[in-house]
């Protein structure tokens, strides 16, 4: 029995107890899948930004220029979409003030594939998940966890907030919207099993996993230990190429000698922590930027190119990988 299967079995023990007490059987639900076409040449390009929902403060609109230059196919949001406490309901003016009015460039009128962050759970999480928001703005595509499939890459959008114990055990003065999450162990077990099933069926040339919380990070929050323990082994077992996250308000590129996954933090969509940086004792930090910015990615069947931009749209770091050569530069 491998380590991941052992960990799942350990998580199942409290789930079995809950099931017996409630006299119900857990139900597995396959992750929702969305098809996204590639360009005529078989390529795909997108922007990724997180922690942005502050009514446009800190010059977020520069993304439109990069989106136009790259002719992006979509945008990925890595969570914490609305500060400080998510949305109150589907009529909350923050949706207009922090999203529609800020990201109004023509190049950004593409699907926004979005996950929830911990600040989103402090509000009405169901509001962001509601189809009513998509009726207001067709770009908004937000589910707890789902898969975006294309011919060249598959994107596994994962709800990471429920993994973090202290949100449940020590929420301080925050109130979280845990509707649809509790019992927590049951939710996490099913999520991991559904993710494993989706990864096993993936035919994309590249595999991206997107979550709000970092697995490996040298920023303010650092590594998320629950994800290192419960999620990372699964991603490595199914040869995931890249993990994208927000949460730390910075830009980062981290790689670890004991993992084939490249870790990219893009959580600098708004307020940044200008002085936060901590040495990582297990991994190498190829790039760290304390200010605002975002990430662009261009993918073909054989290459993947990552570019970090600062708040002025200036390139700060570039990195690329090749499937054919199994090398990077």
Which has the closest alpha carbon to 80: 219, 268, 209, 220? 268
Q: Is 92 annotated as a binding residue?
A: no
C-alpha triplet 28, 29, 35: angle, nearest 5°: 150
Question: Which among 36, 213, 221, 289 is annotated as catalytic?
Answer: 221
First-residue to last-residue Cα distance in the chain? 37
Tokens 């800190």 sit on residue: 58
118 is in an annotated binding site: yes
83 is in an annotated binding site: yes
Does the annotation place 166 within a ligand binding site?
Answer: no
Among this protein's residues, is 174 annotated catalytic? no
80 is in an annotated binding site: yes
Would the annotation count 51 as a binding residue? Answer: yes
Phi first, then psi, for residue 45 (nearest 5°) are -140, 145
Residues at the binding site for Fe cation are 51, 80, 83, 118, 212, 247, 249
Residues at the binding site are 51, 80, 83, 118, 212, 247, 249
Q: Which residues are catalytic?
A: 221
């Amino acid at each position: 029995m491998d380590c991941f299967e052992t960990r799942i079995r350990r998580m199942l023990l409290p789930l079995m107890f809950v099931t017996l007490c409630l006299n119900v059987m857990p139900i597995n639900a396959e992750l929702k899948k969305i098809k996204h076409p590639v360009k005529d040449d078989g390529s795909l390009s997108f922007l990724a930004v997180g922690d942005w929902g502050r009514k446009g403060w800190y010059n977020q609109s520069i993304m439109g220029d990069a989106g136009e230059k790259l002719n992006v196919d979509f945008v990925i949001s890595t969570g914490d979409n609305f500060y400080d406490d998510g949305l109150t309901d589907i009529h909350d003016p923050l949706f207009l003030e922090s999203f529609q009015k800020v990201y109004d460039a023509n190049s950004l009128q593409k699907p926004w594939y979005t996950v929830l962050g911990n600040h989103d759970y402090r509000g009405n999480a169901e509001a962001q998940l509601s189809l009513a928001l998509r009726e207001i703005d067709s770009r908004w595509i937000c589910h707890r966890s789902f898969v975006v499939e294309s011919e060249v890459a598959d994107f596994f959008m994962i709800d990471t907030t429920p993994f973090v114990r202290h949100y449940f055990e020590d929420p301080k003065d925050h109130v979280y919207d845990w509707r649809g999450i509790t019992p927590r162990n049951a939710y996490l077990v099913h999520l991991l099993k559904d993710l494993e099933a989706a990864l096993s069926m993936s035919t994309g040339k590249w595999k991206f996993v997107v979550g709000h919380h970092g697995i490996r990070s040298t920023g303010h929050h650092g590594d998320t230990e629950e994800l290192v323990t419960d999620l990372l082994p699964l991603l490595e077992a199914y040869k995931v190429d890249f993990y994208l996250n927000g949460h730390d308000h910075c830009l980062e590129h981290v790689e670890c000698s004991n993992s084939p996954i490249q870790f990219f933090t893009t959580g600098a969509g708004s307020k940044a922590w200008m002085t936060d940086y901590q040495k990582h004792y297990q991994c190498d930090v190829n790039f760290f930027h304390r200010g605002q910015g975002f990430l662009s990615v261009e993918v073909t069947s054989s290459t993947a190119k990552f570019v970090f931009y600062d708040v002025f749209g200036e390139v700060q770091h570039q990195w690329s990988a090749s499937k054919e050569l199994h090398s990077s530069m």
